[in-house]
Amino acid sequence: MKSERIDIDILINNAGAGGLGLMTELDIQKEMEYLQLNMISLTYLTRLIADDMVKRKQGKILNVASTAAFQPTPRMSMYGASKSYVLFFTEAIAEELKGTGVQASVLCPPSTKTPLTQGLASTRTKIFIKNLIEPQAVAKCGFEGLMKNKTVIIPGFKNKLMAKSVGLLPRKWVTIYTRKLIEQKV
């Protein structure tokens, strides 16, 4: 990049990991590594690449969060919280970057057929087995949203509705519902 004099026009931060289970029962060292990946590495890369983009007055950044970013996620508390960070961080820098020629967007997909959900499928948890969205559909939606300069990109009408409605309900209800959803088995 800087040492090789490579100009990056589009940065896509698409890495994420997290455990499923009660916070007190998960391997804390593994969870800290996941938080490092989900938040710190993403922030570092965004800052590093955005600096060059701003100097060149052009560029696009797409950070990948999750629909888990919109509400507390019991049994995936650290993962969900880290994806909330990605959502809020990206919305904030999108505003900061206005007028610089650099655009920041955040993609918030639902459960998608990825190594993360494949690994969690062994838990027989319904949201990691049924109705998973294909990665190609997520990528297409993300790319199209990025090209349209959307700040928050959510694939699928049902997922957009869910993300918008979370703020209308009491947080306690949302948290209880989310836990039941995450605990539901097939």
Catalytic residues, by residue number, are: 79
Strands (E), the chain: 10-13, 59-64, 102-107, 152-153
Contact in structure between 74 and 179 (CB atoms under 8 Å): yes
Task: Give dist(CA 81, CA 73) in Å, integer.
Answer: 8
Contact in structure between 183 and 75 (CB atoms under 8 Å): yes
Q: Position 167: which residue type? A: G
Q: Position 150: which residue type? A: K
Collapsing DSSP to helix, strand or coil, 119 comes out as helix
Of the candidates 56, 52, 45, the residue with the CA atom closest to the CA atom of residue 86 = 45
Task: Give dist(CA 116, CA 127) in Å, integer.
Answer: 12
Phi, psi of 152 (to 5 degrees): -110, 125
